[in-house]
Amino acid sequence: MATPPRRPTNPMEAAEAAFKPIKKPAPPIREPAGAPNVRELVSIRIDRAVLDHFQEDGPGWQDRINDALRHLVAGKPQG
């Protein structure tokens, strides 16, 4: 039985194969929400002081955060 050669027969092909760029998988396409203004469950990290500010008025603090963010987005110039 013949022993395979220790080096590749064509070093140029071996070098090109070693440095060939790897194709990254395409990111999944995120489908838009089924209906407009539908809320989506997310998890974010915010500063404790910010959370305390919105929670100090009691229940509904998540709605208040959403309203503040919506107000901020509405004031941002398009483009």
pLDDT tens for each residue of 39-54:
888 899 999 999 999 9
pLDDT recorded at residue 7 = 62
Q: What are phi and psi of 48, to 5 degrees?
A: -60, -40
Domain boundaries in the chain?
Answer: 38-79
CA neighbor of 68 nearest in space, from 36, 3, 78, 57 = 57
Which two three-digit tokens encode residue 47?
Answer: 């500063």
E strand or H helix that includes residue 39:
none
Task: Summarize pLDDT for 4-51 with one digit per residue, the tens.
Answer: 667 657 878 888 877 877 778 888 777 766 777 788 888 999 999 999
Residues 6 or more apart whose CB falls under 8 angstroms from that of 61 comprise: 51, 54, 55
Distance CA 77, CA 57 (A): 31
